[in-house]
Amino acid sequence: MKIIDSIYGEFEVEGVLEALILSKPLQRLKGVYQGGASYLVNKRWNVTRYHHSVGVMLLVRKLGGSLEEQIAGLLHDVSHTAFSHVIDFVLKDKRSYHEKIFKEVIERSEIPTILKRYGYNYSGILLNLDKWTLMEASLPDLCCDRIDYTLRDLYEYGHISQQEINDFIDHLIVIDGRLFLRDIKVAEWFVRAYNQEVIEFFMDPLNIYGYDTLAKTLKLAIDKKILRLEDLQATDQEVMDILKQSNDPAIIDMISKLHTNVIVKEDNEVYDLHLIKKIRIVDPLISSSAGTQRASNLSSKIREMNSEAYEKAVKGKFVRVISN
């Protein structure tokens, strides 16, 4: 099958990867928006978990990763519930809910059977995702997961160009299974882009409003037994249909406040919402003739950008609702 990706271009995919892409668990992700509640308040924020999952697989491939690591990249988000990370705000658990249920979701699906058909053992590939260091790495390192959601969101929402993406990828190198950059200027570009993603997009006042409103709606629906956690294994729209069909006045009222005409603003003095999200700082490894070291050791710009990002993350965002 042919895949045409918006940022990586055209690829031929066959065999086990094709079978996994066509499987129900992967196809479900076409109906799960990566931004959680974002799409409900801004239709332009429409990247899905499917787009991202295929993108991670393709980026692993471009960087020379094994077929097994491509499989891991394709499936790493398959257990995400409807509305992605919104459920984490409902449950208020430090560990992401999709990570807790990953093994269960995989084992209840057709994925182990598909992998076995092609000669792979699912547990060897999927039950220790941390071993796939191209696909996943702890902050502040680069990895295909972190790179893809940053590039994909910023490109789709008009903040970076295809040429900038190509230049960045051209400067990526792999050493002992880890990602490095060859140029400090490119590292500065990515740190700026990443901070734009996690501070300006993740913590956009409208995004915060959407997350807060939807999380409260889901919590109320779960408390009233209108919704079960298992129901969240459906798509965003299917869960929204359950909420609407409940005809519960409080639920319907809260849903009515999730629309694209909401007006909010950042206001540190008079505010309705205050959100502090996980602190995310990236500091790429640089490989040069002088050896390998963190980009922040070479660039005062990166030190300044990350210091500013840290301060903003610690402070959080204060949001005033003007009209909903």
Asked if 41 and 209 touch (Cβ cutoff 8 Å), the reply is: yes
Using the predicted structure, report yes or no on whether residue 94 has a pLDDT greater than 80: no
pLDDT at 34: 94
pLDDT at 288: 84
Q: What is the pLDDT of residues 111-146, one digit of tens each?
A: 999 999 999 999 999 999 999 999 999 999 999 999
Which ranges of 92-204 does DSSP label H, i.e. alpha helix?
Answer: 97-100, 102-107, 111-117, 122-126, 144-156, 162-170, 184-195
pTM, two decimal places: 0.95
pLDDT at 277: 83
Q: Please give the helix or strand (H or E) that residue 178 lies within, else none.
A: strand 178-181
CA distance 251 to 120: 45
pLDDT at 92: 86
Instruction: Decide if domain 2-205+277-323 falls under CATH 2.60.120.920.
Output: no
CA distance 241 to 245: 6
Query: What is the residue-averaged pLDDT of the chain?
Result: 96
Residue at token pair 């491509």: 70
- The arrangement of strands across the sheet holding 317-323 comes to 263-266, 317-323, 273-275
Share of the chain above pLDDT 70, in %: 100
Cβ neighbours for 200, distance < 8 A, ≥ 6 positions apart: none
Q: Please give the helix or strand (H or E) that residue 286 lies within, else none.
A: strand 285-288
Q: What is the pLDDT of residues 250-289, one digit of tens each?
A: 999 999 999 999 999 999 999 999 998 889 999 999 998 7
Boundaries of every domain in the chain:
2-205+277-323
Token pair of 190 as six digits: 């990515």
> How many other C-beta atoms can be found within 10 angstroms of the C-beta atom of residue 65?
23
Q: At what angle do helices 300-315 and 184-195 cross, to 10 degrees?
A: 10
pLDDT at 186: 98
pLDDT at 278: 85
Q: Does residue 225 come out as left (phi exceeding 0), alpha (psi in the -120 to 50 range) or beta?
A: left
Phi and psi dihedrals of 151, rounded to 5? -60, -40
What is Dmax (Cα atoms) for the chain? Answer: 66
